[in-house]
């Protein structure tokens, strides 16, 4: 988030005079840190062709992030729409123009009583393959899983209907879903409603495969920690086409990018803030990724 007050959003806690004392120096450090993670991931494999982002306030932040990535030798463009989320945070897509071309895009508002982040829907071509991307950040668990699950279930139901409609119109188009689902791979919304399967046989029937579903949530296995327990809310889900022998193929399983500089002394993700305490970390979520080749 930037340091400017947006009258239409509840961003008062992320301003220079607020308790968190969010200022220009901290904002610039956050941008540099994210760009460093992207560059570091590129050193491990290749510079990511596609990056799904959550908690994005506006286009200005994305322009600043793209500029920071350029400073470390990474060229990106972005796709973003403002949503009706009350905090003014959205999802966005960063992409490499040399590998990905956008054909069309739109924001899809979840059918919920309370506003939340839109689903970013993008039709494009990735390395010669026509793909449909959905970048998501589903409703949080604040208030308890029992009382909030129905909101994530509805989002997954709506997303599944969207995916099915894309496949009916263009059966050859491959599907990629990425983002913070605020549910684990084996939870109802992801496994049962969206139909993201953990093995290739079932994925052929459901149409969707979750390469993160076999990562067990035990010690140090996940992308975020809440009350001492690891969770894997961050997922990348693929259509079964990526398991075939033709075109782009999934290499291995989903992976979590876990580097020491992203962790605290307990080896948990080091956040930017804990409450109002500035911890100077990159994020309370670790990046997740898949390799296609």
pLDDT (tens digit, 9 = 90+) per residue, 97-115?
A: 999 999 999 999 999 988 8
The pLDDT score that the predictor gives to residue 109 is 95
* pLDDT computed for residue 245 by the predictor: 80
Q: Which residues of the chain have pLDDT under 50?
A: none
pTM to 2 decimals? 0.94
Integer Cα distance of 25 and 262 in angstroms = 19
Q: What is the pLDDT of residue 10?
A: 54
Output the pLDDT for position 193.
Answer: 97
Per-residue pLDDT tens over the stretch 187-235: 999 999 999 999 888 898 899 999 999 886 655 589 999 988 999 999 9
Tell me the residue ranges of DSSP E strands in the chain. Answer: 50-56, 77-80, 90-95, 100-108, 119-126, 129-137, 174-180, 196-197, 208-209, 224-226, 229-231, 234-239, 250-256, 273-274, 277-278, 288-292
Cα–Cα distance for residue pair 185/198, rounded to 1 Å: 8
| Site of tokens 């970048």 | 135
Spell 107-127 as b/e; 16+ CB within 10 A means b: bbebeeeeebbbbbbbbbebe
What is the bridge-based pairing of β-strands 100-108 and 90-95? Answer: unpaired
pLDDT at 6: 62
Residue with tokens 């959905």: 134
For 12-292, the fitting CATH number among 3.40.190.10, 3.90.25.10, 3.60.10.10, 3.40.50.970 is: 3.60.10.10
């Amino acid at each position: 988030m930037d340091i400017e007050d947006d009258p239409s959003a509840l961003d008062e806690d992320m301003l220079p005079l607020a308790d968190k004392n969010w200022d220009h120096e901290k904002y610039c450090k956050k941008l540099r840190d994210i760009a460093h993670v992207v560059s570091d991931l590129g050193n491990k494999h290749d510079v990511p062709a596609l990056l799904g982002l959550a908690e994005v306030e506006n286009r200005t932040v994305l322009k600043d992030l793209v500029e920071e990535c350029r400073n470390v030798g990474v060229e990106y463009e972005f796709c973003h729409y403002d949503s009706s989320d009350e905090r003014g945070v959205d999802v966005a897509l960063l992409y490499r123009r040399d590998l990905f071309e956008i054909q069309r895009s739109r924001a899809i508002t979840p059918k919920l009583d309370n506003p939340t982040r839109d689903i970013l829907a993008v039709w494009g071509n990735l390395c010669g393959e026509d793909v449909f991307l959905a970048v998501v950040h589903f409703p949080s668990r604040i208030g308890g899983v029992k009382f909030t699950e129905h909101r994530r279930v509805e989002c997954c139901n709506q997303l599944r209907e969207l995916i099915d409609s894309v496949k009916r119109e263009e059966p050859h188009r491959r599907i990629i879903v990425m983002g913070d689902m605020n549910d684990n791979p084996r939870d109802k919304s992801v496994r049962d409603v969206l139909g993201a399967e953990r093995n290739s046989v079932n994925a052929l029937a459901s149409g969707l495969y979750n390469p993160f579903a076999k990562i067990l949530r035990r010690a140090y296995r996940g992308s975020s920690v809440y009350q001492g327990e690891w969770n894997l809310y961050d997922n990348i889900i693929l259509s079964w086409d990526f398991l075939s022998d033709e075109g782009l193929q999934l290499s291995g399983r989903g992976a979590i990018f876990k580097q020491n500089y992203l962790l605290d002394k307990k080896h948990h993700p080091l956040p930017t803030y804990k409450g109002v305490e500035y911890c100077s970390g990159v994020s309370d979520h670790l990046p997740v990724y898949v390799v296609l080749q």
